[in-house]
C-alpha cells in the first residue's frame, strides 16, 4: 500500500493510515541501524538531494544517513553554497536540480510554504525538512515513533507541548499528527508565545507548567530561540525559565512514568534542567535514533515499494 500523498509537505495532509504505515515501516527499519554492516540495497541507484537553506545538523545528517543506509546516493546542498547567494530564485534552483533527475528532494527553508511552492514546479517527490513556522513533518513523525515505542497505542495519550508555540513548526506538525492519531494536546507557555487562535486548532492552552503536566503521558519541551527576547516577546530568558523551565520541581505533580522529549538543540538550563534532560524519563537521544528510521521509511514509501529493490 502506498501513501495517500506524493509529497510530505506537512502532517496536515497525512491520514491516520498514512501515519500508521510510516510508523510500522520505520519500526521494521530500526533493526538495520543496529547491524554490523548498516546498509541494505533497497534504494540502490536512487538519488536524494538535501536542499537546506537554513542551518541544520541533526535533521540534515539524519536524512543523509537514512538515504545512505538504503544505498541511495545523497547530495547535500546548503543555502550558502547554492546559487541563492548569487540571487537565483528558489524555483529556478529547484528546476535546475530537477534537471539532474533526483528521485527525492528534501527541502528546508526559512519561509513558511516554500516546499509547497516548489512542489508546484518540480515533478519529483518533496519532503519538507522544516519550513519557517509552518511544519516539520518528519520531526513530528519521529516524535510519534519515540512515544509509540514506549507507550504502544497512541490513541488517548495526553501530551503537553511547552515553549514558543507561536513560532514552532515542530508544535504545528505535532499538534496535527497527534490529533489525527487520537491524542490530546495541551500547549503551555506565556501568552505572547501562544496566539489565541491555537484554541481553534482544538488544543488546550495553559500558562501554568506545574498544573499542565499533572496528568500527561508526555511532555515535549521546545527550544527557546534567543532572538525572541529582542523581539519583545520575552522580558528575559531568566524570567522565562522561572515559569517554564522543565525542572524536577515543575514536574512535582507529574506522573512517574511521564516521558520527556525535546526536538533539539537544547538550551540547557533555559527550557529544561540538566537533571531532567539526563533522567531515565528523558528520550531525547531515542528521538535522534527514531529520526533515522522515520526518514528511511519516508524515502522507501515515497519511492514506492514496487519501485525499490527488494531487501
Partner 1 sequence: MLTLIKGGRVIDPANQVDGSFDVLISDGKIEAVAPHGKISGSKTKDALVIDAKGCVVAPGFCDMHVHFREPGHEYKETIETGSASAAAGGFSSVAVMPNTSPVNDNRSVTELILSQAKKTGLVNIYPIGAITKGLKGETLSDMGELKESGCIGYSDDGKPVMDSELMRRALEYSRMFDLPCIQHSEILDLTRGGCMNEGIVSTELGLKGMPVEAEDIMVFRDIALLRKTGGRLHVAHISSGGAVDLVRQAKAKGLPVTCEVAPHHFTLTEEACLNYDTNAKMSPPLRTDEDIDLIKEGIRDGTIDIIATDHAPHDLADKQVEFDNACFGIVGLETALPLTLKLVDEKIITLQKAVDLLTHQPCRIFKLDKGTLGVGKDADVVIFNPDTKFTIDPEKFKSRSKNSPYKGWQVRGKILHTLVAGKSVYSDHNA
CA–CA dist 176, 10 (Å, integer): 9
Nearer to partner 1, 117 or 288 (CB): 117
Residue 51 in the binding site for partner 1 (CB under 8 A): no
Please give the distance of CA 181 from its chain centroid, rounded to a whole number: 16
Cell 530561540 found at:
225
Q: Is 191 in the site for partner 1 (CB under 8 A)?
A: no
Distance of alpha carbon 90 from alpha carbon 298, whole angstroms: 24
222 binds partner 1 (CB under 8 A): no
Min dist. Cβ of residue 12 to partner 1 (A): 8
Size of the site for partner 1 (CB under 8 A): 22
d(CA 27, CA 155): 18
CA distances for 304 relative to 1, 3, 46, 63, 123, angstroms = 9, 9, 12, 18, 15
In whole angstroms, what separates CA 58 from the centre of its chain? 11
Min. distance of Cβ 96 from partner 1 in angstroms?
16
Interacting residue with partner 1 among 79, 132, 192, 264 (CB under 8 A): 132
Q: How far is the CB of 207 from partner 1 (least distance, A)?
A: 18
Nearer CB in complex with partner 1: 235/307: 235
Q: Does 205 bind partner 1 (CB under 8 A)?
A: no
**Near partner 1 by CB under 8 A: residue from 19, 22, 32, 90:** 90
Site for partner 1 contains 237 (CB under 8 A):
no
Q: Is residue 17 within a helix (H) or strand (E), and if so which, with residue range?
A: helix 16-29
Write the DSSP symbol of residue 268.
B
Q: Cβ closer to partner 1: 80 or 231?
A: 231
Would you call 82 exposed, middle or buried from its count of C-beta atoms within 10 A (0-12, 13-18, 19+)? middle
- Residue of 18, 64, 103, 131 that binds partner 1 (CB under 8 A): 131
Return the H-helix or E-strand segment holding 280.
Answer: none
Nearest distance in Å: CB 200, partner 1? 5
Among 78, 52, 12, 106, smallest CA distance to 294 is for: 106
Residue 97 found at the interface with partner 1 (CB under 8 A) = no
From candidates 20, 61, 78, 112, binder to partner 1 by CB under 8 A:
112
Place of cell 510500522: 24
In this chain, which stretch among 29-37, 195-203, 266-274, 278-286 interacts with partner 1, using CB under 8 A? 195-203
Residues that bind partner 1 (CB under 8 A): 89-91, 109, 111-114, 116-117, 131-135, 169, 172, 195, 197-198, 200-201
Amino acid at each position: 500500500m502506498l501513501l495517500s500523498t506524493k509529497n510530505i509537505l506537512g502532517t496536515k495532509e497525512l491520514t491516520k493510515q498514512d501515519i500508521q504505515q510510516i510508523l510500522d515501516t520505520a519500526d521494521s527499519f530500526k533493526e538495520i541501524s543496529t547491524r554490523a554492516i548498516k546498509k541494505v540495497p533497497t534504494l540502490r541507484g536512487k538519488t536524494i538531494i538535501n536542499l537546506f537553506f537554513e542551518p541544520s545538523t541533526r535533521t540534515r545528517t539524519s536524512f543523509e544517513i537514512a538515504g545512505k543506509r538504503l544505498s541511495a546516493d545523497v547530495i547535500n546542498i546548503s543555502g550558502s553554497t547554492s546559487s541563492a547567494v548569487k540571487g537565483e530564485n528558489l524555483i529556478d534552483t529547484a528546476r535546475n536540480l530537477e534537471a539532474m533527475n533526483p528521485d527525492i528532494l528534501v527541502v528546508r527553508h526559512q519561509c513558511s510554504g516554500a516546499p509547497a511552492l516548489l512542489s508546484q514546479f518540480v515533478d519529483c517527490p518533496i519532503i519538507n525538512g522544516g519550513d519557517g513556522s509552518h511544519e516539520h513533518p518528519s520531526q513530528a513523525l519521529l516524535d510519534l515513533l519515540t512515544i509509540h515505542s514506549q507507550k504502544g497505542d497512541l490513541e488517548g495519550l495526553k501530551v503537553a507541548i511547552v515553549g514558543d508555540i507561536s513560532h514552532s513548526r515542530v508544535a504545528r506538525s505535532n499538534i496535527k499528527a497527534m490529533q489525527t492519531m487520537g491524542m490530546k494536546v495541551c500547549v503551555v507557555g506565556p501568552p505572547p508565545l501562544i496566539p489565541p487562535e491555537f484554541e481553534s486548532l482544538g488544543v488546550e492552552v495553559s500558562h501554568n507548567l506545574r498544573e499542565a503536566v499533572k496528568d500527561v503521558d508526555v511532555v515535549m519541551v521546545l527550544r527557546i530561540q534567543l532572538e525572541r527576547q529582542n523581539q519583545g516577546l520575552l522580558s528575559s530568558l531568566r524570567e522565562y525559565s522561572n515559569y517554564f523551565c522543565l525542572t524536577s520541581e515543575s514536574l512535582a505533580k507529574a506522573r512517574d512514568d511521564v516521558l520527556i522529549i525535546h526536538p533539539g538543540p537544547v538550551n540547557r538550563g533555559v527550557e529544561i534542567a540538566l537533571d531532567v534532560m539526563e533522567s531515565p524519563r528523558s528520550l531525547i537521544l531515542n528521538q535522534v535514533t527514531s529520526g533515522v528510521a522515520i526518514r528511511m521509511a519516508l524515502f522507501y514509501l515515497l519511492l514506492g515499494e514496487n519501485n525499490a529493490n527488494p531487501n
